[in-house]
Amino acid sequence: MIKNIFIFLFHLIAFTVLTLATQIGGLIYLSSIYVYNQFGLKRSLVYSIITYLLFVFILLPSLAPFGGRVALPLTGPVKPLNIITCLLNRHYVTKTLRSDLIKTGENLENIFPNSSVSYLDANFPFFDGFPLLPHLSHNDGKKIDLAFSYDQQNEPSSNTLSSIGYGHYEKPRISEVNYPQICKNKGYWHYDLLEKITLSTGSSHYKLNEERTIKLIKLLINSPITEKLFIEPHLKQRWGLSKEDHIKFHGCHAVRHDDHIHWQVK
Asked if residue 103 has pLDDT above 60, the reply is yes
Q: For residue 28, give every residue at least 6 positions away whose Cβ sits within 8 Å of its Cβ, in sequence order, or none.
A: 18, 51, 52, 55
Asked if residue 201 has pLDDT above 60, the reply is no
Task: Tell me the pTM.
Answer: 0.91
pLDDT at 44: 65
Share of the chain above pLDDT 90, in %: 67
* Cα dihedral value 132, 135, 140, 142, nearest 10: -130
State how far the Cα of 221 lies from the Cα of 121, in Å rounded to an integer: 19
Average the pLDDT over 151-169 and give the result: 79
Asked if residue 137 has pLDDT above 70, the reply is yes
Average the pLDDT over 90-101 and give the result: 98
Buried b / exposed e along 154-193 (16+ C-beta atoms within 10 A): eebbbbbbbbbbbbbbbbbeeeeebbbeebeeeebebbbe
Cβ(198)–Cβ(167) under 8 Å?
A: yes
Average the pLDDT over 106-110 and give the result: 96
Q: Is 75 helix (H, G, I), strand (E, B) or coil?
A: coil
State how far the Cα of 112 lies from the Cα of 227, in Å rounded to an integer: 26
Q: What is the pLDDT of residues 146-158, one digit of tens each?
A: 999 998 877 777 7
| Count of CA atoms in the C-beta half-sphere (13 A) of 240 | 6
Average pLDDT, the chain: 89
Q: What is the pLDDT of residues 58-72, one digit of tens each?
A: 999 999 999 999 999
Asked if residue 202 has pLDDT above 60, the reply is no
Cβ(238)–Cβ(182) under 8 Å?
A: no
Cβ(95)–Cβ(65) under 8 Å?
A: yes
Cβ(264)–Cβ(172) under 8 Å?
A: no
DSSP state of 57: I
pLDDT at 89: 97
